[in-house]
Chain A
Amino acid sequence: MSERELVGLGALVVLVLLLLLRLPVAVAMLATGIGGSWVLSLVAPFLRFEPYLRQFKTLFWNTVASYDLSVVPLFVLMGYLASRGGLARDLFAGIQALVGRRRGGVAMAAIGACAGFGAVCGSSLATASTMGRVALPELRRLGYHPRLSTGALAAGGTLGILIPPSVPLVIYAIVVEASILEMFRAAILPGLLAVALFLAAIALRVRRDPGLAPETPAMLPAERRTALLRLLPVLLLFGAIILGLGLGLFTPTPAAGVGVCLVLLYGVVLRRLGRGGLDRSEIGRASLDTAVTTGMIYLILFAAEVLKGFFARTGLPAALAAWAAASELEPWLVLLAMLLLLVVLGCFLESLSMIVVVLPFFWPVLLALNGGEAVGAPDAAFGLDADELKVWFGILALVVVELGLITPPVGLNLFIIGSLAPDVPMRETVRGVAPFLAAEGLRVALLLLVPALSLALPRWLAG
């Protein structure tokens, strides 16, 4: 191992230490990248530090003034406007009117509403928090067992990470230089598969233990009609965004811009009708919420750019890839080990940090094991060319990363739902998500064995 690679390895250890010291992730990454580059200039004098520093004259501006990244703040803003605009409430009530009478139907409605809300929100945490506030009181009122209620909502919240438009998908695409649109298209079927498996998990759970979900009284016909009528504009909104993206009518930034306009219009109309909705103060609050999330995301993306540049200078990712290519390692085993490691790391690390810190190391290794950048599908270890491997691996990795949101001890969705139901012990919520974790395990297996689940739609839409 060369001195430069050793510096890279040492920097990785320092990064982990800084993270353990609870330094903000972006700050830890930047400190590692900049400090590591200084050390590198001492070890390898031709990698001078002063010219390296001069890139910061434009690097920050180039990151924030990126057309490709502009999709992120717009999707985040859309999510917060939707969250404050009453959209989640109408969505849940509408789906409840459709399936709520079945045993377990209200929990199923909560899953459906989480999926729908995830489609306009793009954030798992915002989905869990918003749908938790909307659906949890109703589930409790109808006598659903706290274990089922909190478990379904914590798990349902994870649907936001994959169902497009999703901010983590955008970030993955940027980190590994994949097409955002391809990633969105690839995520549609796996996202729907998760919804189907979660619904099946509820149905099986309730069949085995009917006490978890009592019979729900029928809605009054007028009440049902109103709920269904109010669902229509919400469905049109989702349709416009998902179909627009899926069919290639929009590229991501216009889709996000149009989404913001539609959600805003919807919220303002609701306000006029006297049914909540959005006024100036709510829009202002949505802007402030957007500021917190977007500021955090952009800083991490900027830090990822700095860290990527540093590690490229150390030659560590290339050395790892070369070592993997020369090794006799079984590609499928390595892939499984990577996914397993992501599950374990997901128990401790926040999902965005995993995408920007860990995946840039995994991707070159996987690419090398597959046969390199130029390999064709027939000769590739995974039977996929580099572009398709990037998409397939991204979907798999994000599904596994989202498991971290409902895995103790740092499953953030568990804490969000826990804070909304303080009387429910955390162990009940953890027990409640267990069937959904099993469903997720099944989904990972299906996505591994049948790559077409992720790739069929992008292939079909690309003609």
Chain B
Amino acid sequence: MLERAAAALAIAGGTILLAIAAVTGLNVLLYLADALAPGRLGIVKGYEDLVRLWVGAAVPMLLPWCELRRGHVAVDLLAERLPAAAQRALERLGVAASLTLALFLAFWMVQGLLETRADGRIASVLGWPEWPFLLPGLVSLLLWAAVAGARLLPGARG
């Protein structure tokens, strides 16, 4: 179930990235059209705001899948020469550290979300409130923690 949730979130994040690409394509076309016939068509209003908010929502959605696929880079210099049991222990240490990090970030993101909402922080050009865009990040960090936690359970595949 965790694997499905992580995959669904990653694909949703990828879809947001495709949407950013589509808006960018549209923006470039409108820019070119505006250069050819000034004043008829403007560019997408608040394009940079839109990219910033959407990418801010999309990127955290990719993290649980990254954890699940063990995508975080590590340095294989000393560890690979250790006995298998020591390597497994180090692997678990790394996963435990990932779990702690995900929970740490989730805790502070809740504080940040509440503060952003209380302050009424909005995107400067679009005027959209920012706090709803932090919600996918919070869900993703919790799922990341769950994925890392599941990897620590007895019998988990690393």
**A residues adjacent to B (C-beta < 8 A):** 19-27, 30-31, 53-54, 56-58, 60-61, 64-67, 69-70, 73-74, 77, 250, 253-254, 256-258, 260-261, 264, 283-284, 286-288, 290-296, 298-300, 348-350, 352-353, 410
* Interface pair B79/A70, CB less than 8 Å apart: no
* Interface pair A296/B72, CB less than 8 Å apart: yes
Measured in the bound complex, the distance between the Cα atoms of B10 and A27 in whole Å is: 21
The residues of B that contact A57 with a CB separation of less than 8 Å are 108-109, 111-112, 115
Closest to B27 in A: A254
* Interface pair B25/A24, CB less than 8 Å apart: no
Report the minimum CB–CB distance from A26 to chain B (whole Å).
6
**B residues adjacent to A (C-beta < 8 A):** 7, 10-11, 13-15, 17-18, 20-25, 27-28, 48, 51-53, 55-56, 58-63, 65-67, 69, 71-79, 87, 90-91, 93-94, 97-98, 101, 104-105, 108-109, 111-112, 115-116, 133-134, 137
Closest to A292 in B: B71
**What is the interface of chain A mostly: helix, strand, loop, or mixed?**
helix
* Interface pair B97/A260, CB less than 8 Å apart: no
- Whether A257 touches B66, Cβ cut-off 8 Å, given contacts A22-B75, A65-B52, is no
The residues of B that contact A19 with a CB separation of less than 8 Å are 74-75, 77
13 A-B contacts (beta carbon < 8 Å): A19-B75, A22-B76, A22-B91, A25-B75, A60-B137, A67-B48, A257-B27, A258-B21, A260-B21, A288-B10, A288-B11, A288-B65, A291-B61
Report the minimum CB–CB distance from A25 to chain B (whole Å).
5
The residues of B that contact A298 with a CB separation of less than 8 Å are 59, 62-63
- Whether A74 touches B77, Cβ cut-off 8 Å, given contacts A56-B108, A67-B52, A294-B59, is no
The residues of A that contact B56 with a CB separation of less than 8 Å are 61, 64-66
* Interface pair B51/A253, CB less than 8 Å apart: yes
Closest to A284 in B: B11
Report the minimum CB–CB distance from A244 to chain B (whole Å).
9
- Whether A24 touches B73, Cβ cut-off 8 Å, given contacts A61-B56, A258-B28, A292-B65, is yes
* Interface pair B72/A287, CB less than 8 Å apart: no
B56, B62, B108 — which one has the most chain A CB atoms within 10 A of its CB? B62
- Whether A25 touches B101, Cβ cut-off 8 Å, given contacts A73-B59, A77-B18, A254-B24, is no
Closest to B131 in A: A61
Closest to B106 in A: A60
Closest to B91 in A: A22
* Interface pair A24/B17, CB less than 8 Å apart: no
* Interface pair B72/A24, CB less than 8 Å apart: yes
Partner of B78, one of A22, A58, A65: A22
Partner of A23, one of B20, B25, B63, B97: B97
Measured in the bound complex, the distance between the Cα atoms of B53 and A67 in whole Å is: 9
Measured in the bound complex, the distance between the Cα atoms of B109 and A293 in whole Å is: 23
* Interface pair B105/A56, CB less than 8 Å apart: yes
